[in-house]
Amino acid sequence: MSELQYHRIADDEKGFDLSMFCVPKHYEDDLERVYIPHGLIMDRTERLARNIVNDFGYEEPIVALCVLKGGYRFFGDLLNYISALNRNTDRSFQMSVDFIRLKSYQNDQATGKIQVIGGDNLENLRGKNVMIVEDIIDTGKTMLKLLDLVKDYNPKKVRVVSLLVKRTPHSVGYRPDYIGFEVPDKFVVGYALDYNEFFRDLNHVCVVNEKGKEKYAIPKSD
């Protein structure tokens, strides 16, 4: 496997002023800054695709498992780049796709409970090489529980690629096989990452401000 490499975003990184980018009008007052521009996401995703093809090329077919909902855009873009490399290089592998939907957040806090609320029959993973594609690894607890679930189906090999990995004191120390960006302990949205189902329609990864958190918060039950 390629040496683990990723783009580390420093704790003091301020990002970019919203006025430099096209941001939907309905979100302009709810965001602090653009943290990772869409173009940079795409460039990094292409690099990850190259690393994956170099590592997986000539192996048996791969099942790419998308973790919904937050992973769908990264998953689609990553597979598009992999497909292009499969067509245009001498290293290639067959891919099929599966989906699983998890829920672990409410507002900006992890609930501590992992709910599997949708997905295909994971029997399809039995005996296969599996590549799990995730949007963000926060504490790592969700991914470890998902890996335990997947292992119940006895896959041949499992690798994990995540667009983002968060530096947080609450981390259990889990690191995926492929990382796009390592980011500070901020609540980020956009590029399909959400806050209570909002902000998925942003092209860029942004930091949501306190006004945005309050505006789209789910009221706590008594």
Q: What CATH number does residue 47 fall under?
A: 3.40.50.2020
Quote the CA–CA distance of 131 and 95 in Å, as a whole number: 10
| Residue 105: predicted pLDDT | 52
Q: Report how many domains make up the chain.
A: 1
Residue 165 pLDDT grade (very low, low, confident, very high; cuts 50, 70, 90): very high
| Residue 190: predicted pLDDT | 95
pLDDT (average), residues 122-126: 86
Question: Quick one: tokens of 10?
Answer: 């420093």
In tens, the pLDDT along 184-217 reads: 998 899 999 999 999 999 999 999 999 999 999 9
- Only one residue has tokens 């609450």, namely 170
Quote the CA–CA distance of 32 and 54 in Å, as a whole number: 38
| DSSP code for 176 | -
What is the percent of the chain with per-residue pLDDT over 90, rounded to a whole number? 66
Quote the CA–CA distance of 75 and 80 in Å, as a whole number: 9
pLDDT (average), residues 151-160: 93
Q: Which residues are known catalytic residues?
A: 138
Does some domain include residue 41? yes
Quote the CA–CA distance of 73 and 218 in Å, as a whole number: 24
Strands (E), the chain: 7-8, 31-36, 62-68, 95-106, 109-119, 129-137, 157-166, 178-183, 188-189, 205-208
Residue 222 has pLDDT above 70, yes or no: no
More confident residue, 107 or 22: 22
What's the gap between Cα 23 and its chain centre?
Answer: 21
More confident residue, 1 or 155: 155
| DSSP code for 220 | P
Residue 14 pLDDT grade (very low, low, confident, very high; cuts 50, 70, 90): confident
| Residue 49: predicted pLDDT | 95
Does some domain include residue 42? yes
Domain extent at residue 201: 7-215
pLDDT (average), residues 59-66: 88
Residue 107 has pLDDT above 50, yes or no: no
Quote the CA–CA distance of 139 and 85 in Å, as a whole number: 32
Predicted TM-score (pTM) above 0.85: yes
Does some domain include residue 20? yes
